Amino acid sequence: MTTDASPPLTRLRQDGFVIIRSVLTPSELTALRAAAARLTTAARTGAWPHVRTVGKQFPPWDASLVKQGVGIWGVQHLLHPDLPVDAKDREEFVRLYFHEKLLNVARELLEIEEDEGYDGKMTMELCNMLVRPDGSGNDKKGFALRWHRDDIPWSATPEEEMARLKKEGDKYVHTQWNLPLWDDDSLIVVPGSHKRARTQVERDADPFEENLEGQVKVELNAGDVVFYDNNILHRGVYDGEKERMTLHGSVGHAEGSRERARNVLQHGVGEWVDRCDFSVLGEGKERRTAEGMRRRLVELGRENQGRDVGYSLEG
Ligand SMILES: O=C(O)CCC(=O)C(=O)O
């Protein structure tokens, strides 16, 4: 009889996503909601240059539009040392990103044995937040992302898609998650599409097709988390009237650093990561893990210094 040592990894490989319920306690949720609300308010007034503006799906985004009344659908870099909130709120985001429950799942998905030591293998990557689209114009109606894979252009041929997608037995070198602070069903995916080229129907579909065959809404309660293969066919459909504060992060594997360089560094993280303050994590294992993860990212930045990493997708 075979035993499945890692159901989350099995599900990720099979479906392209895996939901873990109730990762946060009620009090963690309350504290994070308060910090996230203050950050969102600051970002909506133009106090933070690193935002995703309504109307544009992929980076780079032009934050000056916020002062002209354009809404935002995301706030970038929650671990940034200059985030326009007080230190206590910044500490909430640090605690969340390095939360033991999240890192334990990430470690399983990245197939890192606990006794290999987290700090030698896991790499700090992105920590952003996706919010209810808001602004002074039509964007009150909401906003939608078109169907995409995060790191493979829509123009790719089936052969190009297959060459970039994970093959049976390939290890994950990074993992991406969404953790909503309010119930959230904005993410829509096509299960299984992370391991095959698009069908002709998918290729021919409208980029904003509302009913792609096999699609499912990822229904999350506040405090749940979904880890997903970011090359699964997916889109986001956002309701301008419904609260959304969904933390959106990723964790890398040190051995995949080259492959990940574009994805992480296109967001400019390399410019500030060495100034992050993780002292809220104390001096024990949690802190050592965080410092190790940061060190790997700094090394990644150094290796890519002066190299134009470009953008994965445009538009
Ligand atoms: O809003 C979401 O959950 C999905 C976001 C997304 O697809 C993206 O950032 O590429």
* Nearest by Cα to 78 from 41, 35, 118, 22: 35
Q: Specify if 23 maps to a domain.
A: yes
73 Cα to the center of ligand 1, angstroms: 10
Residue 138 within a domain? yes
Instruction: For residue 44, give every residue at least 6 positions away whose Cβ sits within 8 Å of its Cβ, in sequence order, or none.
Output: 66, 71, 72, 134
Q: What is the CATH number of the domain that holds 136?
A: 2.60.120.620
Handedness of CA 241, 242, 245, 249 (dihedral sign): negative
pLDDT value, residue 255: 84
Q: Is residue 311 part of a domain?
A: no
- Is residue 292 in a domain? yes
Q: Considering only CA atoms, which residue is closest to atom 10 of ligand 1?
A: 150
Instruction: Give pLDDT, residue 301.
Output: 72
For a mutational test of ligand 1's pocket, the pick from 145, 218, 232, i.e. the residue with the most ligand atoms closer than 8 A to its C-beta, is: 145
pLDDT value, residue 1: 44
Ligand 1 nearest atom to the CA of residue 248, by list position: 3
Domain for residue 175, yes or no? Answer: yes
Whether 208 is covered by a domain: the verdict is: yes
Residue-by-residue pLDDT tens, the chain, 315 positions = 445 666 999 999 999 999 999 999 999 999 999 999 999 999 999 999 999 999 999 988 999 999 998 999 999 999 999 999 999 999 999 999 999 999 999 999 999 987 655 556 899 999 999 999 986 555 556 799 999 999 899 999 999 999 999 888 899 999 999 999 999 999 999 999 999 999 999 999 999 999 999 999 999 999 999 999 999 999 999 998 999 999 999 999 988 766 676 667 667 788 898 899 999 999 998 999 999 999 988 887 777 665 554 545 566
* Cα(235) to centroid(ligand 1), Å: 6
Domain total for the chain? Answer: 1
As beta bridge partners, residue 187 has 236
In a domain, 313, yes or no: no
Q: Give me the domain span that covers residue 68.
A: 7-303
**Could you tell me if the CB of 236 is within 6 A of ligand 1?**
yes
- Is residue 308 a part of any domain in this protein? no
The pLDDT of residue 169 is: 85
Q: How far apart are CA 288 and CA 5, in angstroms?
A: 27
